[in-house]
Structure 1
Amino acid sequence: MRARRGIGIDALAAVLAAVGGVRGRGRRGVGALLALALAAGLAACQAVPSEGPVHEGLASLNQGEQPVQFNPEGPAAGADQEDIVRGFIRAATSSVDDYAIAREFLAPAYAAQWQPEDGVFIDEGIQPYASPSENVGELSLSGLATVDSAGTLSPLPTGPETVMRFEFTQVGGEWRISSAPNGVILDRISFSAVWTNRQLYFLTPDNRLVAETRWFLNRATLSTQIISGLLDGPNEADAQALRTGFPSGTTLASDSVPVNGGIARIEFSPELLTSEPANMEQVKQQIAASLQSVPGVTGFEISVNGAIVDSASVTVPDNQTRNVENLVTTVIRGDGIGTLSGGEIVPLPRIGDRIAELNPDAVTLSADRSSAAVRHRGESGSAVTWVSQNDTVTIDLRRGLFEPALDRFGYVWSYAESDPDRILVQLPGSSPELLRLPGLEDREPLAVRVSPGGNRLAVLVEGNDGMTAVFVIAIVRDADQRPVGLGEIARRELVTSGSPVDLDWVDETRIVTLSRAGAGVKVTLAPLGQLPSDIGTVADAAAVSGGGSRSLIRVLDGDGRLFGPQGSGWQLQSEDVRLIVRSG
């Protein structure tokens, strides 16, 4: 199947997710891709001067975030079909006047039909061209991800290259495109320059703010795009768990959100006034948190029918779920469990001895370190037990138990291979609940982790061709913070080379994985809704802990050696470590 006229990026992404690709041609070598990407990047930049006068830098750091303006050329006289296609792709780096330059490459009848707003197809940057018939051209793309019309980025499964089809006609003796896929095609470097990611904040049933990452064109209309995104609500995967505070039917009353003197002036339709006072406060919280990352915006005014009804300053949301003093590395070394400090173990107070008595093979501490979920050997097999200073509660005795999780609200999460479609959730002292997992594209979970904020479940699986993949699922809670279900959609958040080994949450919006690739094990940092980055390798790595920040990521190898990040590599932190203790 190929991308044809009328098939946008959203539809193409759905097809790719279902069949794992469009048409078979092997991916190019990673080394060649990197070399060409670097060459393209260097060619686009001026040389760094080694001598000459000192020039004044940016007067404000915000200047460093100004939109990048590309000025691609229109079609050249006498250009052949391949030149027209490649020129059209380059022209999509400029969205000025609704992609006016890109439309110059299209036949007049098709120029009005092409819909660039359908999304983005992001590829590696190598785009072989072929002409299978007289007036047809094809680009073969090694896809990385798609961005849908709402700005949600989804990594593509590994597999065959994607073939994009273009049809041609002559207009005034010059070749023009008469059919092309909707949306735009950008290589990774161009995409990162033209688009920017921002956090949109939505509400849980108990009115906590939770972020979704969205991508927007990096231009002066960024505030308008963000407010429109808030009005549209959370993405489909989060729709059961999150909501927007805006009353139903509320829209922007004008096409733009102007910013004057640092104040974003937002004019809403009259439906906003149907909101209760408490809801209006939630609307303000969403706006304040979502606009805080826009350069130059310090506050906002809300108007209806030309009259200002409210205003506030932008604020950085407090999403820290772990106390700073608890952002430490905790391990089991020898017979002791405690915090690693200067090569020594500082014993874990109150519950450390109770955990050690169970001879655990997996431990997750609560955020305040006052309780733990422990997997250990029971009387008739593995068991998951909750441990506090005064109590011990058996949670799960099913066969094939995974490492348990303990969320910030005190619920223990336990997954078992013997019950692959469900996960057990229990507040110690209450009855357990079994929540059904959504489909994972027929993949079996290898590890399951709950995010520090208790909002999402990350599931590690083996993807196509033995690759590492991670799905993220929304946790649905009631107003009392009790988990009552899981989202119906498991969003693919990561696809990376190498067979899966382990994963953990770094914080509420980032995951870290281990993938065995050749002789080493690769460490990959993956912010939700963004492209991942590899951050080095550790030989024979077996387990990873997110720790709460990038500097606190720890990797344990098969010989009990613990490593932490140091510059671009990994430095030995301790030896003879039996377990990394995770934090909930």
Structure 2
Amino acid sequence: MRRALRAVVGAVVVLATAGSLGACAQIPMSGPVREGTADGETQVDIAMLPQGPILGTDPRGIVIGFLGAAVAASTSPKEFETAREFLTEDVAGTWDPEAAVRVVRESPLPRQLDPEVDLESTDTVELVVHATTIATLDSAGSYTEVGDPRDLGYRFTLVRTGGEWRISALDDGVLVPANLFANQYRATRLYFSAATDSRSLVPDLRWFPRRTWRADAVQQLLAGPPEWLQGVTQTLFPDGTQLGSAAVRETDGVETVAVRLSEQLGTVTGQQRAVIAAQLSATFSEGAGRTVPVDLYSGTNRLAVTAADVSLPGTAGQALVVQDGELKLVSGGTLETYETTADVSAVGDPTAFAVSPAGGPIVFRDGTDRIVNLTADGPVELFEGPNLAAPSVDTFGVTWTSGGTGALRVRGAGDEVTLKPEWLAGRRVISVSVAPEGARVAIVSEAPSGTQVHVAGIVRDDGDSPVSLTRALVVAAPVHHVEEARWSGMTTLALLTRDTGGTSGVWTAGVGGLAGTGGVARQLTGLSDVEHLAAGVTEQGILVITDGGHLEHEEVGVWQPLAEDVDLVAYPG
């Protein structure tokens, strides 16, 4: 048993050490300590070579060996073959390791056998592995944080077969320690074409085993949009298209991914083909630090592909502040006059504002019960009602705020529309923020049970007006007392929290997991007494106003003072 245990522990130590060296290679040797909040991660592929069972190993050693081999399979050339060696023959054929991944807080280890168990006189034993699950990963690579992590017992039944102990009953899926998860699974954004514009790409973050991540990504693109993006995005792949391979090759020193698909791909138009290639290139370029070219094949035929003019989500324009009753532009480290005919002083009690990314309306919340469009002729009322959420104006010029219980209110050029998704029933909206491309919305709502952050897709009609929301994802489930959410990356939210004692905090959380942290949401340090939060999908970073009107900006985790006596701040959107 000692030899088996050393083999497993050795493999884990090699992985952890290699991961640490990869991280240390990027740590500056001088200057201040800086904590990054970038919307991405450095991708490092590290392989583990698990060892199979050794003759004479006792039941606990068999479970330990199995757990180590199952974790290593995501990077091992032998995949799950070694892990199956620890199972009985019939269970090895039915165990489904890809059914689910449970990310656990600590390294899972089985309890010691009851001293009263005599292994010489029994052929069946049961062992329990206790672990605290903090997140789950489904078979499609979708990551979900657990809101209330609990210590659970995972049961393994072992039998003696041929004189050796093997596992005869266990749950499908694998247990992966949190500190190893990011080394074993690769955060990858899939890009789907928006339903209203195939050239606008909408990201969906997934996590795939590092050894097979490219093929897995293509398979999931072929499978089409997930439920929460159906009706919001579209697939350009013809029905029945299958993947042959997605292999990296090097030509003249340039790495290119050759994607070989079935012959159905040959039926699409040249424009569709160009967008498909752009989708794949954007997906493969995640974390690479460069654009990865793609060669498309239909069967054995290489297809000619022209460059596609596609767009990824990004905030249009710089942040704005209200200072001394005027709108000013945040430019670099200074504030500049913002040229507009709108007169902020015409708003009686400005408590929040939003600016259209498309250069449309400037919208203010007046007090807490009125939202107005600030035109050159003065304020024009858009909404009236109690406790209205701070407005968000999307790329189509539609203004969003809260409605009654379980409702959102939206208004563009036409009449006001009320949206009542089922998942919002019984909850009061306190924050709403539309993503830059206009296909997704982040909503913070509260109920007696507490606050929740949801992200849903926006279904629009032919005139780009919202008509419904899709099924929502729960984001940042472990983060409590959230009062505001803003998009700070393509799949990242910045969250402002305030507990019952009035203490504030700023967090970042991922829609589908936070790429730079192995999935889990994290709190930013160095902040206190935050009154307002602004974020955008831009290099300008997160902005906050602290108590007393101090505007601070974030540069890779370092908070710097930018201006004084600032009342409000917002990015376009």
CA distance in 2, matches of 1:345, 1:256: 48
Report 1:357-506 matches (<5 A): 357-367=347-357, 371-377=361-367, 382-389=369-376, 392-416=379-403, 419-428=404-413, 430-440=414-424, 443-461=427-445, 469-487=452-470, 489-506=471-488
Query: For residue 492 of structure 1, what is the amino acid of its counterpart?
Result: V
Report 1:228-247 matches (<5 A): 228-247=219-238
Cα deviation for residue 284 of structure 1 reads 3.1
Report 1:160-179 matches (<5 A): 160-179=150-169
Cα deviation for residue 122 of structure 1 reads 0.8
Whether the 8 Å contact between 1:364 and 1:372 is mirrored in structure 2 is yes
Deviations 1:109-146 (A, max 9, x none): 11111111223111112536446997222222222211
Cα deviation for residue 310 of structure 1 reads 2.9
CA distance in 1, matches of 2:96, 2:432: 39
1:272 aligns to what?
A: 265
2:528 to 513, 529, 539: 539
Cα deviation for residue 386 of structure 1 reads 1.7
Whether the 8 Å contact between 1:158 and 1:465 is mirrored in structure 2 is no
Q: 1:400 to 1:549 in 2, by over 3 A?
A: same
CA distance in 1, matches of 2:95, 2:422: 35
1:79 to 57, 60, 65: 57
Whether the 8 Å contact between 1:351 and 1:371 is mirrored in structure 2 is no
Q: Identify the structure with bigger relative contact order (alpha carbons < 8 Å, sequence gap 6+).
A: 2
CA distance in 1, matches of 2:539, 2:291: 28
1:125 to 106, 118, 129: 106
Cα deviation for residue 499 of structure 1 reads 2.4
CA distance in 2, matches of 1:226, 1:65: 15
Whether the 8 Å contact between 1:339 and 1:348 is mirrored in structure 2 is yes
Deviations 1:63-107 (A, max 9, x none): x85621012332344433333222222112332334112112211
Cα deviation for residue 270 of structure 1 reads 3.0
Report the count of equivalent residues: 520
Query: For residue 449 of structure 1, what is the amino acid of its counterpart?
Result: S
More off after superposition, 273-282 vs 507-516: 273-282
Report 1:569-580 matches (<5 A): 569-580=558-569
Query: For residue 233 of structure 2, what is the amino acid of its counterpart?
Result: L
Q: Note the residue ranges of structure 2 that are not aligned, 5 or more in a row.
A: 1-11, 25-41, 118-123, 514-518
1:554 to 538, 543, 562: 543
More off after superposition, 163-172 vs 544-553: 544-553
Is the partner of 1:97 in helix, strand or coil? coil
Report 1:61-460 matches (<5 A): 65=43, 67-95=45-73, 96-127=77-108, 129-130=110-111, 135-205=125-195, 206-207=197-198, 208-219=200-211, 221-252=212-243, 254=244, 257=247, 259=249, 261=251, 262-293=255-286, 298-311=292-305, 318-319=311-312, 321-323=314-316, 326-328=317-319, 330-340=320-330, 345-354=335-344, 356-367=346-357, 371-377=361-367, 382-389=369-376, 392-416=379-403, 419-428=404-413, 430-440=414-424, 443-460=427-444
Q: 1:558 to 1:126 in 2, by over 3 A?
A: farther
Query: For residue 302 of structure 1, what is the amino acid of its counterpart?
Result: L
TM-score if structure 1 supplies the norm length? 0.79
Q: 1:259 to 1:335 in 2, by over 3 A?
A: same
Q: 1:173 to 1:483 in 2, by over 3 A?
A: same
Query: For residue 543 of structure 2, what is the amino acid of its counterpart?
Result: R
CA distance in 2, matches of 1:294, 1:357: 45
Deviations 1:247-276 (A, max 9, x none): 122222x35546453343333223333434
Q: Note the residue ranges of structure 1 that are not aligned, 5 or more in a row.
A: 1-36, 50-63
Cα deviation for residue 472 of structure 1 reads 0.4
CA distance in 1, matches of 2:374, 2:461: 25
Query: For residue 170 of structure 1, what is the amino acid of its counterpart?
Result: R
Whether the 8 Å contact between 2:358 and 2:396 is mirrored in structure 1 is no
Q: 1:209 to 1:560 in 2, by over 3 A?
A: same
Is the partner of 1:151 in helix, strand or coil? coil
CA distance in 2, matches of 1:48, 1:233: 35
Whether the 8 Å contact between 1:541 and 1:555 is mirrored in structure 2 is yes
Is the partner of 2:266 in helix, strand or coil? helix
CA distance in 1, matches of 2:297, 2:18: 47
More off after superposition, 80-89 vs 239-248: 80-89
Query: For residue 158 of structure 2, what is the amino acid of its counterpart?
Result: F
Query: For residue 439 of structure 1, what is the amino acid of its counterpart?
Result: W
Whether the 8 Å contact between 1:506 and 1:550 is mirrored in structure 2 is no
TM-score if structure 2 supplies the norm length? 0.81
Whether the 8 Å contact between 1:374 and 1:385 is mirrored in structure 2 is yes
More off after superposition, 524-533 vs 436-445: 436-445
